[in-house]
Structure 1
């Protein structure tokens, strides 16, 4: 059961019932006073009608559930209690708003409410229960068990057949999904191979460009060093960087002369 339904049953219904009982108090008390009850006894009229209605409704529901006699009389009592409560409210307000005045018939009718309520409550309390023999109870129990067994077998068979059809449908759908998944996997593999080939080609091309760039910068540095040496100047790192307009980090990154003293070794350099 959802939480909001539980909240309605546990909070909203009792709150509405209490509010309705509270609202019915003034009219029923005023009607009781109109019928002649004093200030001391008049407040008992709402209690009389409200408890009577609750008792009649509860007894009627219980007897219907347990298949006991007296269900109809209890239901009639509940309806009468509601009719009396509504009539009391209406008549009380009509008198209060000067639409009607009290009368001997009204006084007699209101005065008869407590005895009638007591009489009907006693009748519901004294209604005998159904007396059945053990054989009758066993026979009824046997019929109920057979009926339940038949319904259970039928429902289980229907549920099993429905479940089997559902499993077959799901199995067919799963087979189709597997086939589609295999096709998608093959297509994805092909795309992945193409993408990897393109990335490798791009990486190779980029690596070639990088090597050419490093080779060009290294040659420029070597040329600057030779130019400074031809001018009789010492080819320091600062002068080479100033001549080429590069930083010292770029110089050391792209120019790493070997320690070889030969002419070939002096002109060689490594890129890395």
Structure 2
């Protein structure tokens, strides 16, 4: 990233200096590469294509290699190797051309063969990089993988939510059943308390002061026979009605507490 606090002239050098240096280096490489083409046996305007096949190819390979490295696209390894080979060709072409011109070495069959093989190698590598799948295809594949992962995550979340909902419903039913059981137990306890109270009142009335008869006896509560209760329970089951203390009390026309008590008698029997 460019530092925005950089002086204006530094920004100008940074922005405009890079392409200028690149052009200058390419221009300076042209004579040596043309000389190598002449030594390998090319003549005329064809020799001017050698700088394109060496220096420009090296630049293209370097740019493609960096782009594919950043995008993590296929072919970045071969592009990097090609960029290195292209740089080595450009460097060796310059060095050998100047060594030959200055008389430090002479041409040879191996040198001619090596220089002559440059264009086919460049063509092969450029076609290879062109045929390699682009980063767009890789991005589409990554998006597909992301969609599949998201779908799996949503399915797992839906399953977990459904499981938790079922667990909460089960707990709610358990709490409701426990409440009904507690209500039945409370009604039975209340009936027992009423019976004990009635028995105590009757006993106190029967054992009043000596020589006196109680003026009034506690009227005994009329109980529903067990057979009648069983018949009512059977009728409710036949009608598909849930058998409970309140429902049985409504069917028998007694109190809810008595309904719980009668239901307990039937279950005990």
TM-score by length of 2: 0.49
TM-score by length of 1: 0.49
